[in-house]
Structures are given as C-alpha cells and as structure tokens.
Chains A and B, each alone.
Chain A
Amino acid sequence: MTAVLKPTLARCLWVAPAFAALAILITVAARSIFGMTPVLQESTLLTVAYIAGGIGFIVGIGGFDYWFTWMRGGELDPNDHSQHGAHSWGDYFKFNTDHKVIGIQYIVFTFIMFLVGGMFAEVFRSELATPGQQVLTDQQYSGLISQHGVIMIFVFMVPVFAGIGNYVIPLMIGAADMAFPRLNAVSFWLLPVAAFTLLSSFMFGSFDGGWTGYPTLSEQSGYGMTLYQLGVQLAGASSIATAVNFLVTIIAMRAPGMTLFRMPLLVWANLATSALVVAATPFIAGAQFMAMFDREMGTHFFTIAGGGDTLVYQHIFWFYSHPAVYIMILPGFGIISEVIATHARKPVFGYRAVAFSSAGIAILGFAVWAHHMFASGMEPWLRVPIMLSTLLIAIPTGIKIFSWLGTMWGGVLRMTTANLFAIGFIFTFVIGGLSGVMLAVVPFDVSITNSYFIVAHFHYVLFGGSIMTIYAGFYHWFPKVTGRMYNEVVGRWHFWITFVAMNITFFPMHYQGLVGMPRRVADYAPEFAWSNMVISLAAFVLGASTLIFVYNMIHSARHGKKAGANPWGGLTLEWLLSSPPPIFNFPATPRVIGGPYRYGEEGAKHAIVPEVEPATVETTV
C-alpha cells in the first residue's frame, strides 16, 4: 500500500491520471463558464490532459518532493543523500540524484528508443525494397518516417550525449556530482514523458509532416501533429535543463588546478554544446508554440489567409535545428578526441585549436540556418551570405579532423573496438562532411533539394558521424561503468558488420538523389528497384548488427572479465577511480597538476587523488 505513496513509478500510475483528469475538469468548467462551444472540444481536452499528465508523472516519480518542502517554508538538509546512488537494480527505476545512475538511465532508455526508431526504419525499408506499395499506405509511410526522424533526434541522439556526459563529465572534472542533482533527475524523467507523447500519437494516426513539421501541412494534419509539437517541447525542456546543469558544473565545480586548458576535450565539447542548447533550443519551443496555437486555438501565425507568414516557421525552426546538428555531433567530437588519444598513446595534436574549434562551430552554427531553405522561396539576398558562412564551418571541422589524424600519426595504435569505431567515424564523417560542403553551394542544393542525396548526407553525418562516436564512447567507458571488459572479438564483428552495412545502406542514396529520386515518398520509379533492394537488404543487416552489440553489452556486464581501474592506461581523472567508481566519486578533493593528454612522458600525471579514509557512515532511519 505504501508503494503508491512513496516516490516510485507506482505513484506515477495514479498521480499522472489524476493530474490529467483534474486538468480536463478545469478546462471543461472554464469552457462552460466562458461559453465556448463545443464545451467538450476533444483536441483541447486531450492537449491539456497530456500536459498535466506529464507534469503529474514528474510529481509522481518524486521530482518535486524536495522542492515542496522548500515551498512550505520547511528546513532543508543539504546533506540529504537519501536518493543518491543505486544499491539494487530497482533503484534504476526511481528518481535518483546520482549522476552515474542518471547517466546509465539516460543511456539505457535512449538506446531502447534507438532500437524503436530503428525498427520504424526497417519497416519502411521493407516497403521501399520493391517498387509499388505492398506493406504500408501513404499515410502509414509518412507517419513512420516522421516518427523515425523525431525519435532518433529528440529522444536518442540529443539525450544520449547528455547521458554519456552525465556519467563522465563530473568524474573528468573531479566533482562529486553535477551542480544540481535533482534538476538532473527531472531532466531525465522528462524524456520518458516526451517519448510517450510522441509514440502515443500512433493512436491518432501519427504525424505526417516529417521531423520538421512544416506548416501549412502541419496545420492540416490529424491530432498526432499536436502530440509531435508537445513531445518536441518536452524533449527540449529536458535538454535545456541538462545544458544549464552541464554549464554550471563545468564552470563552477572543477577540481583545484583544473584550468580551462587542462580540461579534457570532451568537457570542452560539452561546454560548447550546452551553450548551444541554452541559446538555441528555445527557438524550436517558440516555433512549436506558435504552430500549436494555430492548430489548437485558431490563431493565424502561419496561415496566409489570416495575414500570417508560412515561411517564418522555417526560419525560427532552423534557427534551432541547425545548431541542433552541432548539438548532436560536438560531444561526439569530444569522445573521439578522448578515444584516439588514449588508444594511440599520444597527446592530442593541437589541443587548443580543437578546443577553440568547438567554440567556433558553436558560434558559426547560429549563422547558417537558412541553408536548409535555399529552395523555399525565402529572401534571395540571404542565399549568398548563408552559403559563405556554411562553407566557413568546414574550417573548424577540418581542424578537428586533422587533429585526430595528427594524434594518430606515428602512434602505436591499439585496435580496440572503441578505437576502430573512432577511426571508422573519421572515414564516414569525412564523406558526410564533403557532401555537406556540396550542399552548401546554392545552385547544387537547389537542383537536388528534397532528393535522396539529402538523406544520404544526413545519414552519413548522423549515423556515420554521431552514432559511430556513441558506439566508440560506449566501448571506451564500458569497463569504467560496469567494472568488466566487453568481448573484444564480438565487438570487432559488431564494428565491421555495422561499418560495411552502413556504407552499403547509405552510399547508394547519393546516386539515387543525383538521378532524381525524391525523399519522403512511399513509391518510386521502376529504375530505382535494384538500388533500393540493395539498400533495404543492407539496412536489415545493419539492424541485426545492433543486436550483436546489445548481446555483447548485456553478456559482458555480467560475465566479462574484471577490468580493473584503468584498463586503457588513460590519464584523465575518471581512470584514477575504481571501476565502477565509488558512490561519491572521489574520497577527497583531487588536485590537477598537468594537462590531460600527457601520454608518452615518463611518469606524467594529469591529477592526484589523495588517499583518505572515508568518514564513518552515520545513518538515521
């Protein structure tokens, strides 16, 4: 009985519906008082129920328990660590304030969402395997490609980096936890709410505007489109909260001696990413608010008939969503720098240039949004400046590529699975980067816009880029997180199958796009039959290769051989702790005495962790 009163998932089961029901009651009452007809407007009631239910879920899981005490004017105990750390597997399903637990929660949840989004892709690839329509209707096809994009971007790619950062960043900077542990937990628990909102739109026929949800199509769609707009808001709120947390943690919680230029490059990358999230994500919130008001309240932001402007949605949307591309890759760049330096046993080549290039990409990222709109009929004078700024972004990105190559140059490479993924990433990301430079050029972009060339480009930078870095990070820190080694042979099989299948899946799309196959259409001309069959078969292999990874992770976490504190011989702070790290990370404040990548120097140290006996545990129950 008490389980439904304590902050658990069981409490969510009644608090969330109760909040939703209350919101519906208030809305019905307000509508009848103000004489709005019909009183029982279905879409309005559903929308308020979703919003209130989402808040109710966070209340139910315990997100506000501590703040309720504050609100009542009660006394708070800053040393209350009752929700810190996982003592059994059940603690992973609770509101937990330990950054390591939250990191694992993030990674596991987002990876499950990756599998879900991947399954959507497999379903519509089976439709695309042969010309004509066999499996899906147009409506279902549009719904699935839109869900695939939105799930992958908003509940996998953006938050999974928050998950890796959550686990690793506080360790790397020598902190006991993130700056705001409860906010950290709230931002994780917003994600299941966002995922539920997005996925439950299947009950209303999904949404069919692609992941971008442009008006006027979005204004004519079924109710699922409103859930897309809500789900994106929720995921956005989660990532802003995390970004604020990362920024404060990195700025204010570094160990003594950890100057800016002694920070590992993953920390630099997260600093730049978080700044981007804070400044850019509100723009998608604004765009979705306006689009939702148009749908649910009958305003005319984007309808020409009411004096609105359809195109401005795209401006505001891409003002977030282009920086979002860097939000999805910058932390990956950081991971690659860590992995390559550690496994090549060499200092990072051009450390400061790489750090500054992250900041450069973050700043330039705000000046290139309109290159998504060359063919949209926007103001023509905007084209050339945006083309030039887009081409400029190849420079900081190139700095990073040459830094990785320079780091590997002359090093004795340890070909672990993590390093294989890092090197494979450089190969595929350069392909995606080059097609990106092609797309920046206005005449080329206008001629192949909305074709499969675009699909090829962004899958090369998101799968060949982000996901390869995510795998590299997973393998690199797996021994630290679980205390056990993954199976290297199975890992290599995973890498090679993924790498080959990924290239066979996405490379032919360049060709398809150049000869004119349009994207987002369920059917295609018969001359594309052969290439589409190849792509679909490779896509199934790619999907299956993920299962190898899942098997490796689950099996190795339980039966792998013990890893020890520092299997890779890394110098950064997280490797100076036991695997997995102690519940409060460091026994005493670490002191940072040198740069993070002093590989090859005899007896070089990045930091010293003083050995101190932990104070005796006082527990009052």
Chain B
Amino acid sequence: MSAATDHSAPQIQPYRTGLRPEILGLIIFLVSEAALFGAFFMYYANLRVLNGVVWPGEFDIPAEATSINTLILVLSSFTCEFALLSLYKRKNGAVFAWLLATFILGAIFLGLQVEEYMVVGFTPQDDATGAIFFTLTGLHGVHVFIGLVLLLLGMIRALAGRWTPERHSGLLAISIYWHFVDIVWVLLFTVVYCLPSS
C-alpha cells in the first residue's frame, strides 16, 4: 500500500481536558456497554420482581463453584494493573509477563464458565429463566473473549516494544476495558448467583 504521508495538516491545539480523547471515547463507549447489559438486567428484574418468577426455579446454579471463578477474575484485574505499573517503571519484560498472567487467568475463567454450561443441566431453550441466565452470562462471556483477544494483541505489541510510558493509550484502554468486564461480572454474580428466591 502506497501510503502518501501528508504533513501539511496544520497542528490544531485542542481544548484542554484532563483526559486523552481515546480514553474519553472508551469510557463513553463503556457507558453504552453498561446500557446494553442494563437491557438484559431490566428483563431479569422484570422477570423476578414484577412477574415473581422463582429463581432459579428447579435448576441448580452452582454459586459456590462460581465464587472461586469470580475470585480468579478479580485477581486478573490486579495482574492487569501490575502490567501498567511495570510499564511506568519501564520494565518491558514484566509488562509482557503480567499481561500473560492476566490472559491465563481470563482464559481459566472462560473455560470454567463453559464447563459450567455443560454441567448446569438446563439449556437456554428450556424456559425464560434459562434464556436470561445463558444470555446474561453468555454476553459477559463474549466480553471476556474480546478482552482475551485484546490482551493477546497487547502482548504482541509488548513483544514488539510498542508500549512506552509516553505512548500507551492502547494498553491503558485494554486495562480499563478489562476492569469494566470484571465489575460487570461482580454485579452479575451478586444478582444472578447469590440472590436465589427465598
């Protein structure tokens, strides 16, 4: 591809804000992501609060096993943050190692979730309870998967030595996204797993 590089573009100084545009954009995007989860939580709340559906019905949602999984995901948020801290100390090898640790923890989480799908004993097609359980956890699973892909790309760029303390918006964005996925999970785990109908 013949990239014609044109330096005639005048340098327009933007208005001063504390945030870099790409990080601001990511945060706004995450607001809309939260709203997407909100739509499914709205359905879930309607089902349980207004319709009085017994949760989880005759199914058994493995809250204890999943609490370990929750710990794994929370731990991965810390390892992700350590990657950024290592970058600020210019330890490029440690950046890669912490990203790898985060990736492995995320992959374990996703694997255990898939395993839970296989043993849980009901399917999305059974009834509305099954449908919203699988959709909420599945939507979150898709986000974890996207996060894993992003972590992989972060590792590739770390190996190529592209992250510097001066230029690392991409890595910062990946970590913010990963924290968001983590926070959504903690909320989801609390509401869906830990609040059975009494």
Contacts and interface: CB of A to CB of B under 8 A. Distances in A.
Interface string A568-592: 0000000000000000111111000
Interface stretch (B29-37, B100-108, B185-193): B29-37
A312 B131 CA distance: 14
Contact of A281 (B2, B5, B32): B32
Contact of B7 (A71, A248, A289, A618): A618
Contact of B127 (A244, A289, A300, A587): A300
Interface of B: 1-15, 17, 19, 21-22, 24-25, 28-29, 31-33, 35-36, 38-40, 42-43, 46-47, 50-51, 53, 124-132, 134-135, 153, 156-157, 159-160, 162, 170
Interface of A: 6, 65, 70-75, 77, 79-82, 84, 174-176, 179-180, 240, 243-245, 247-248, 251-256, 258, 278-283, 285-287, 289-290, 293, 297-301, 306-309, 312, 315-316, 319, 379, 584-589, 612, 614-621
B114 to A, nearest CB: 13
Contact of B15 (A81, A255, A285, A289): A255
Secondary structure of the A side of the interface? loop
Q: Which 7 A-B pairs have the closest CB atoms?
A: A286-B39, A73-B160, A282-B36, A282-B35, A299-B131, A254-B15, A308-B128
Secondary structure of the B side of the interface? helix
B25 A179 contact: yes
Contact of B131 (A70, A293, A315, A586): A293
Contact of B8 (A309, A617, A620): A617
A6 B2 CA distance: 10
A616 B6 CA distance: 10
Contacts of B4: 81-82, 619-621
B39 A283 contact: yes
Given A79-B5, A244-B32, A316 B132 contact: no
Contacts of B160: 73-74
B102 to A, nearest CB: 18
Contacts of B162: 73, 75
B149 to A, nearest CB: 9
Given A175-B14, A300-B127, A619 B159 contact: no
Contacts of B25: 179-180, 244-245, 247-248
A175 B11 CA distance: 10
A289 B142 CA distance: 14
A82 B15 contact: no
A48 to B, nearest CB: 15
Contacts of B127: 300, 306-308
**Most chain A CB atoms below 10 A, which of B131, B132, B134:** B131
A251 B23 CA distance: 12
B48 to A, nearest CB: 11
Nearest to A306: B127
A228 B40 CA distance: 20
Nearest to B26: A244
10 contacts: A70-B157, A72-B156, A73-B156, A82-B5, A240-B32, A588-B10, A589-B10, A618-B6, A618-B8, A621-B4
A301 B131 CA distance: 7
Nearest to B34: A282
B39 A252 contact: no
B132 A252 contact: no
Contacts of B2: 82, 621
Contact of B10 (A65, A379, A586, A616): A586
Contacts of A251: 17, 24
Given A299-B131, A301-B43, A309-B51, A279 B6 contact: no
